[in-house]
Amino acid sequence: MAKISFSFGAAVGKSALSAAALRAEYEERILKAAEWLENTPADASGNGWIVLPGCAADEIKKTAEWLSGYDNIIQVGIGGSALGNLMLNQALTDIFYNEKESRPKFFLADNPDPCKARSIMDLAGKGRTALVGVSKSGSTAETMTQFLWFRDELIKKGQSDKDILVITDPEKGIFRAFARSSGCRVLDLPASVGGRYSVLSSAGLATAAALGIDIDSLLKGAASMKKFLCEEKDLDKNPAFKMAALHLLHESEGRSMSVIMPYSSRMAYFAEWYAQLWAESLGKNGLGTTPVRALGAIDQHSQVQLYTEGPDDKLFTIICIGCHGEEITVPKVEREELAPLKYLEGQALGEMLGLEAKSTAAAIVKSGKPVIWIELEKLDAENLGALIFFYEYLTAITGRAMGIDPFDQPGVEQGKKYTYGLMGRSGYEKDACEVSRWFEKINSDRI
């Protein structure tokens, strides 16, 4: 059973608003947002993620078993079609999975950087390789350029389209047409699930299961969190309601950044995943707070100086892991010159990481800044699934309470159109001209 606790005693910071006043100010808006979310059909655009915890995963598991027979898996995707996979794999497999004897090796081709693409292909050059393309439309330029290149490389190796899996829209798009004609494997990516909310769909789960991740437990944890959040209507007992209200409060008072700081190397990509989810969902109409990724304890030595003595413009969320698994304990100090370090004898590294999380939280609170504390009993598939659903739900109701659509991304679409135009795609000529005009302005003052 997933076990996660949320602590809000220091979450108001220097705000003059009491807990009772917070409830009076924001409860009605939050409840209306939750009601909207629960009453919107799952097949409505963007809302399909909410039913994913209860969906059958049989077809995903069959495909994962097929993928697991390869020596290498190369997945191409970007944004939500990449960050979710990186997050699951980092959190739930060995951090150095690819460096060990594990099979299949997994490579994620996200950024269309030729150096990275070539390095991936060099590493996957030996043995049989499965190519996985993830795109609902099959037209995302960054994904499709790499898909075409990697496909060509596989064919040069003597492989074929039978070694390809596409995860795409159930009915339409370039990838769907390719699957029909080529006979490659295909998994549906529900049309109502947006990329940044897709990690608990085939887009995230297929390769995760192929690497041995327990996707049943992921979905079980997400389902238990969904049940709790949807049934608990009291703002003071529902952590998503309370966090949504706090984000609204702090944004209104000029705290324009949302810092997330997990204390585990296995959660670095969780912070990256959160940053896309939060920024792309809520940054609209001149609203939204900027997500800032930090990692404890590393960023105690790079950012905490700013956090404690810099401007009061951030809301902090610190995530602590209760049990890190098998511990490493500091041995007895024998050399005389190391005697000042004797206080470290017998200290466990995982426990030390937890103490550092508490120390950072306390230092930030002492400086008058607002801190939310989240603690996972342990980082396993069930707890991670619950935390993923929590943040998806939190993001959705926060956006609705702000009065914006948390599922669209008009700013991203504009950038895509510009890219299509510059790359010569038919129908986007005007966009290419517009880019040229803006670049005239950019270059009007050049050194």
Q: Is 416 a catalytic residue?
A: yes
Q: For residues 383 and 363, what is the distance between their CA atoms, to the nearest angstrom?
A: 27
Selection from 178, 90, 102 nearest residue 133 by Cα: 178
Of the candidates 62, 116, 157, 416, the residue annotated as catalytic is 416
Of the candidates 280, 284, 314, 324, the residue annotated as catalytic is 280
Residue 76: strand pairing partners: 109, 133
Dihedral angle, C-alpha 404, 407, 410, 413, nearest 10 °: 170
Q: Is 100 a catalytic residue?
A: no
Strand pairing category for 371-378 and 4-7: antiparallel
Peptide bond into 104 cis (omega under 30): yes
Residue 328 to residues 48, 107, 263, Cα–Cα distance (Å): 42, 29, 16
Of the candidates 156, 171, 301, 440, the residue annotated as catalytic is 301
What SS3 state is found at 6? Answer: strand
Q: Is 247 a catalytic residue?
A: no
Q: Which residues are part of the catalytic machinery?
A: 280, 301, 416
